[in-house]
Amino acid sequence: MAFFRDLMSALVVSILVRTVIGETTNTLDVNQQKVSVTKEGGSAASSSSADNSGELSATCHNAIATMVEVRACAGLADMVQIRMATESVSTPIKAWLTSMCKVAACSPASLQSATEKFLAGCATEISSGSTDAEAFYSLLTNYKTIRAGACLNIEKLDFCVSALVGPFKKCDGRKRTLFSVPKAAYCIECGAKIHSNNTTFCEKGDLTASPVPINPILVALPAPKEAPKPQSVKRS
pLDDT tens, residue by residue, 47-105 = 333 334 456 889 999 999 999 999 999 999 888 889 889 889 999 999 999 999 999 99
Band of residue 213 on the pLDDT scale cut at 50, 70, 90: low
Distances in Å between the Cα of 114 and the Cα atoms of 2, 98, 133 are 18, 21, 13
Which pLDDT does position 193 carry in this prediction? Answer: 79
Chain centroid, CA 10 distance in Å: 11
Q: Which residue has the higher pLDDT, 20 or 6?
A: 6
**Whole-number CA gyration radius for the chain:** 19
Residue 41 near residue 2, CB atoms below 8 Å: yes
Q: Are strands 27-30 and 217-220 parallel, antiparallel or unpaired?
A: unpaired
Chain mean pLDDT for the chain: 71
Burial class of 162 by CB neighbour count within 10 A (0 to 12, 13 to 18, 19+) = middle
Which pLDDT does position 120 carry in this prediction? Answer: 96
Q: Which helix (H) or strand (E) holds 62?
A: helix 58-65
Chain centroid, CA 212 distance in Å: 13
